Amino acid sequence: MKYFLVILTGVLFIKCNNSEATDDKIVAQVGEKKLFQSEISRIIPSEIEQQDSILMANDYIRKWVKQELLINKANENLTPEQKNLTREIEEYRNSLIIYKYKNELMNQQMDTLVTQRQIEQYYNANTDNFKLNRNIVKAVFIKIPKEVANPKLIKELVDDNSDLGMNALREYSIQYAKGFDFFNNNWVDFEIVKKNIPGDITDESQFLARNNQIELNDSIYYYLVNIQDYKLKNELAPVEYVENNIKNLILNKRKIEFLKQIEENVYKEGIRQNKFKIYTEK
């Protein structure tokens, strides 16, 4: 083992110093199968430390040795019939070729445009599948050091939902806030907002029903959380909240139908062009 490590360290030393080896040294051997220095060098990043290189190389060599030993053991114990992989290799090759062909056709021909109308039609036809499993909100959160906070101005900015008002609020927050999030145009899990509110909220449903604007203070910060809208667990999710999910569902369904149609078209073409025969017993 010591002799092996000396050789390996030398190999890595040569690699780290970007020197050209005059010959490709053997670093491990199992039966007639040999692992060469050049193979180790290819998997070692040039920028890592020499000690890390040695550890990485040793790990690779151990895995290589284990694999070769398993191959030898399998060859010793399997029958010639069991070791004949011609059929498996052919099946794998055929599956891979078919997959690549279908994938190429999908990239070239399948319609990937999903319109808002299609999303809404799918949503309306499958509302039972879009019940919420959590509370969601549209909200604005701001956390500002108390010495610079202007609660009156902040509340005025938060209440102004125009683009001008939101830009002013963003600029104010960038300049003064320690932390802020604007989820006023997007539905988000209430947990994301809740983690920014000091104290414990034991009943989220009651909290959301009773509060649309929460002002809090601790010894350092002034907090404002403005809940602009909310939906509770088990209610129907807003269509915009599940829009991406619906789009993926539509595309997956379209993909399955497209792939079935490819197979059917190829089969019909085979019939028209007499490309196959089916023999039945009489």
Higher pLDDT, 201 or 261: 261
Q: Residues 135-188: pLDDT tens digits? A: 999 999 999 999 888 889 988 888 888 888 888 989 989 999 998 888 888 899
What letter does residue 19 receive in the DSSP assignment? Answer: P
Q: Confidence class of residue 282 from pLDDT cuts 50, 70 and 90? A: low
Closest CA to 235 of 132, 159, 140: 132
Closest CA to 184 of 203, 205, 201, 159: 159
Higher pLDDT, 22 or 154: 154
Within this chain, do residues 138 and 219 fall inside the same structural domain, yes or no?
A: yes
Within this chain, do residues 227 and 163 fall inside the same structural domain, yes or no?
A: yes
pLDDT at 209 (0 to 100): 83
Within this chain, do residues 118 and 251 fall inside the same structural domain, yes or no?
A: yes
pLDDT of 20 higher than 70: no
Determine the Cα–Cα distance for residues 70 and 63; give it in Å rounded to an integer. Answer: 11
For 71, 97, 105, 131, the CA distances from 90, given in Å and listed in that order, are 21, 10, 23, 47
The neighbouring-strand residues paired with 216 are 223
* Interval 215-239 mean pLDDT: 91
Q: Which domain holds residue 56?
A: 2-77
Within this chain, do residues 147 and 217 fall inside the same structural domain, yes or no?
A: yes
Q: Is the dihedral of CA 49, 52, 57, 60 positive or negative?
A: negative
* Interval 229-245 mean pLDDT: 95
**Angle of helix 86-109 versus helix 243-272 axis, rounded to 10:** 110
pLDDT of 250 higher than 70: yes
In a domain, 144, yes or no: yes
pLDDT at 2 (0 to 100): 35
Q: Confidence class of residue 21 from pLDDT cuts 50, 70 and 90? A: very low
Q: Residues 117-129: pLDDT tens digits? A: 999 999 999 999 9
230: number of Cβ within 10 Å: 21
In a domain, 236, yes or no: no
Q: Residues 53-110: pLDDT tens digits? A: 899 999 999 999 999 999 999 999 999 898 888 999 999 999 999 999 999 999 999 9
Within this chain, do residues 41 and 117 fall inside the same structural domain, yes or no?
A: no
In a domain, 188, yes or no: yes
- Backbone dihedral angles phi then psi of residue 147, each to the nearest 5 degrees: -70, -20
Residue 210 belongs to domain with CATH number = 3.10.50
- Backbone dihedral angles phi then psi of residue 215, each to the nearest 5 degrees: -110, 130
In a domain, 263, yes or no: yes
pLDDT at 218 (0 to 100): 85
* Interval 34-48 mean pLDDT: 89
Within this chain, do residues 202 and 137 fall inside the same structural domain, yes or no?
A: yes
Number of domains in the chain: 3
Q: Residues 195-207: pLDDT tens digits? A: 877 777 888 888 8
28: number of Cβ within 10 Å: 19
pLDDT at 131 (0 to 100): 95
Q: Name the percent of the chain lying above pLDDT 70.
A: 92
